[in-house]
Amino acid sequence: MSQESITRLNENEILFRDEVLKFARQTIAPHVSEMDESEKMHPDVIRGLFEMGLMGIEIPGDLGGADGNFFMACLAVETLSMIDPSVGVLVDVQNTLVNNIFKKWGNKEQQKKYFTKLAKDTIGCYCLTEANSGSDAFALKMKATKDGDNYVLDGKKIFITNAKEANIFVVFANINPELGYKGITAFIVDRDMPGFSVGKKEVKLGIRASSTCEVILDKVRVPQSHILGEVGKGYKIAIETLNEGRIGIAAQMLGLAQGAFVAALKYAQEREQFGKPISSFQGLQFQLAEMDIGIETARLAVYNAARKKDAGEDFVREAAIAKFHASSVAENVASKALEIFGGYGFIKEFPAEKFYRDAKIGKLYEGTSNMQLQTIYKLLETNAK
């Protein structure tokens, strides 16, 4: 990481980042290939994330958390993703989606019950997407029918990150489809509730150690006390949380790009052709310089969005810009890194092909690149009036 980037972090942030990177190199790096091949997160990695406090960064200290801020959560995601973006997204979903929902929308009883678990040893996940509601998130069909002091949830979610390992699920369902998006409500669902199950795990191109599964609710009875926020406010919770989550995904893509770049630069300085390192050829020097420019501008966008969020400023436009730009940079840098490795870049023994596979998801989840452009344009249009 460049000296210029370091100066944008305060002393505590630098120490935090360095500790996370040390942990990632010692605990995660030895398992990266194995986890990718087995499509499974190693238990030592999960255990280590909790022991490091990385699964509860913004959770208050008196509830077992690290008492940090949103920027630190993004910094952790970025740093972990330099080593393995699969681990980065595990931590991202826990912090920027699940923990943030409980922090902003959970009542005191819910926070006390669930924060202590989420900080200590329990993984959570965010269940919004359905077969016919992706970019059109509020077209969801899962129903929540009132029955006394309970709601009965019925339906299926797809592409749910962390579902295989999770025990706490934030599920969005509609209490009255006739109301459209105004009927959407957020529920806390525990894994052991009767009728709840995790379905098939998807086999993916990249971030293969990160679980992506179906979540099935077959007439699951959820107490009214498990509603997050208010009945019918689920759409607001989803929108606001996704805006925050997009910064986390941008941080993941930033870390991925940095990891691919570091590997490519090291290889270029060591690999010799025609009697000298390939990094001595101007054509390759220009490629590396362009990669560094992309990473630096992505870092500016990500850090700016995260800082604005922590400052309580409007950050929706900045979040969309960060996610769009960082995912584009990650895909470009990972592609160039693979080419710099040459034929070695195409085989699994070297890191370039995994970074290349992992990069593509950045333009797809938590809002496609086209959805980010739409968000940016709508804000431009609104501000022009």
The CATH number for 125-234, chosen from 3.90.1150.10, 1.10.8.80, 1.20.120.850, 2.40.110.10, is 2.40.110.10
| Phi, psi (rounded to 5 degrees) for 233 | -105, 10
CATH class of 235-384: mainly alpha
Query: If we measure between CA atoms, which residue out of 362, 358, 355, 359 comes closest to residue 267?
Result: 355
What is the overall mean pLDDT for the chain? 96
Query: Coil, strand or helix: which one is 201?
Result: strand
Write down the pLDDT at residue 137.
Answer: 82
Write down the pLDDT at residue 8.
Answer: 74
* Domain chopping of the chain, boundaries: 3-123, 125-234, 235-384
Q: Where are the alpha helices (DSSP H) in the chain?
A: 3-6, 11-23, 32-38, 43-51, 70-83, 85-92, 100-105, 108-120, 234-270, 282-310, 316-340, 352-359, 369-384
Spans of the chain below 70 pLDDT: 1-7
- Tell me the angle at which helices 85-92 and 234-270 cross, rounded to the nearest 10 degrees: 160
The yes-or-no answer on residue 366 being catalytic is yes
Write down the pLDDT at residue 1.
Answer: 43
| DSSP 8-state secondary structure symbol assigned to residue 349 | T
3-state helix, strand, coil in the chain (%, to 5): 60, 15, 25
pLDDT tens for 321-368 read: 999 999 999 999 999 999 999 999 999 999 999 999 999 999 999 999
Cβ neighbours around 300 below 10 Å, total: 15
Q: Which two tokens stand for residue 146?
A: 């009132």
Residues of the chain above pLDDT 70, percent: 98
Q: Which two tokens stand for residue 89?
A: 């997204």
How far apart (Å, rounded) are the C-alpha atoms in residues 279 and 79? 25
Cβ neighbours around 385 below 10 Å, total: 4
Of these residues, 39, 58, 318, 366, which one is catalytic? 366
Query: If we measure between CA atoms, which residue out of 122, 353, 103, 348 comes closest to residue 237?
Result: 103
Write down the pLDDT at residue 7.
Answer: 45
Amino acid identity, position 267: Y
CATH code of 3-123, in short, is 1.10.540.10
